[in-house]
Amino acid sequence: MSRVGKKLIPVPSGVKIQIGNKLQVQGPKGTLEVPVPEGIRVQQNGGNLEILRDSDEHAALHGLTRALAANAVTGVSTGFQRHLDIVGIGYRADVKGRIAIFTLGYSHPIELLLPEGVDLKIDKQTHLVLSGHDKQLLGQVAANIRSLRKPDPYKNKGVRYTGEVLKKKVGKSGASGGKK
Cβ-based burial of 134 (10 A; exposed 0-12, middle 13-18, buried ≥19): buried
The structural domains of the chain, ordered by start, are 3-77 (3.90.930.12), 80-161 (3.90.930.12)
Q: What CA–CA distance (Å, rounded) separates 31 from 47?
A: 19
Question: Residue 3 in 3-state DSSP?
Answer: helix
pLDDT beyond 70 at 180: no
Measured from the Cβ of residue 29, the count of other Cβ atoms closer than 10 Å reads 20
Q: What CA–CA distance (Å, rounded) separates 162 from 143?
A: 13
Q: What CA–CA distance (Å, rounded) separates 80 from 54?
A: 32
Mean residue pLDDT of the chain comes to 87
What pLDDT sits at residue 133? 92
Ramachandran quadrant class, 24 (left: phi over 0; alpha: psi -120 to 50; beta: rest):
beta
Q: What CA–CA distance (Å, rounded) separates 119 from 129?
A: 8
pLDDT beyond 90 at 58: no
Cβ-based burial of 175 (10 A; exposed 0-12, middle 13-18, buried ≥19): exposed
Helices 59-77 & 135-147, crossing angle to 10 degrees? 80
Q: What is the pTM of this model?
A: 0.83
Average pLDDT, integer, range 32-50? 88
What confidence category does residue 137 fall into, taking pLDDT thresholds of 50, 70 and 90?
very high
Round the CA-based radius of gyration of the chain to a whole number and report it.
Answer: 22
Q: What is the pLDDT of residues 96-110, one digit of tens each?
A: 989 999 998 889 999
pLDDT beyond 60 at 2: no
Residue 28 phi/psi, 5-degree rounding, is -65, -25
